[in-house]
Structure 1
Amino acid sequence: MSTFEPKKPACSASLSRRGARGFTLLELLVVIVIIGLLAAYVGPRYFSQLGKSERQTAKAQVEGFGKALDAYRLDTGHYPSTEQGLNALVVKPADEARWNGPYLQKQVPADPWGRPYVYRSPAQDGGDFDLLSLAKDGQPGGEGDGADVSYR
């Protein structure tokens, strides 16, 4: 019995040398430049979306707190005072007989920028309450990414 050994082509030595040589420095530099161009194009678009998502998160949280404040008012007949703050939605205030909460499932989180939400009752403009996030810049007012996110 003989074992079958396939015949190697005459050019196999040159193929094996060519396959083992790797990439040249020029080829690697071209690939690095292409990756850099892609990152320069995609990076700013990605980070602009990140700012949008923070604002959308703050807006959704402010809307949720506003609805919880409205439920609190329906039960008690008034909104929590500025001193009681948003914590009154989670923990029953000592002087509140008709409190039927908690109105939020979890503790009140910080806004997406790590600062507490601003709550005032009555509102500065004479309304029922002010509820807002001071956004990215942490200052009242602002424009663009620094514009406050408020309820109503």
Structure 2
Amino acid sequence: VGSSAGIAALAREWYAAPSNPAVEAREVFAAAAAGDPAAVAVLDRLSERVARVIASVAFMVNPEQVVIGGGVAESASALLPGITALLPRFTATVPRVTVSPLGDTIVTVGAVRHALDFVEAHALDLELLPAAP
């Protein structure tokens, strides 16, 4: 669910065409936008799956907001209506669901933030080496 490759694999499975490796996530989203019933059905099923995952997270940690980011963020806006419509069926505490404008770069931003947090927390633990002559 969380990657373009995963969406493409689900599309091949749900299209009943596992032998067609040419199906890619962007093609599924484009076909759904053009009204292709099979592609719309794939996005509906994907929306339900994402809504169930978000509901599970909501049950455990009760977030106020869930932000969809990473590789599928660019296309996730097509899933938002389905996700938000289905969430109340799966959880009583419905979080706000949004899409990050950072897309794929959010992974890099998160990694840099994690590294900076580590340096800030352990700055005094670092041993300075003498300068080379």
Larger radius of gyration: 1
Structure with greater proportional helix content: 2
- Taking structure 2 as the reference length, the TM-score comes to 0.29
Relative CO higher for 1 or 2, CA cutoff 8 Å, sep ≥ 6?
2
- Taking structure 1 as the reference length, the TM-score comes to 0.26
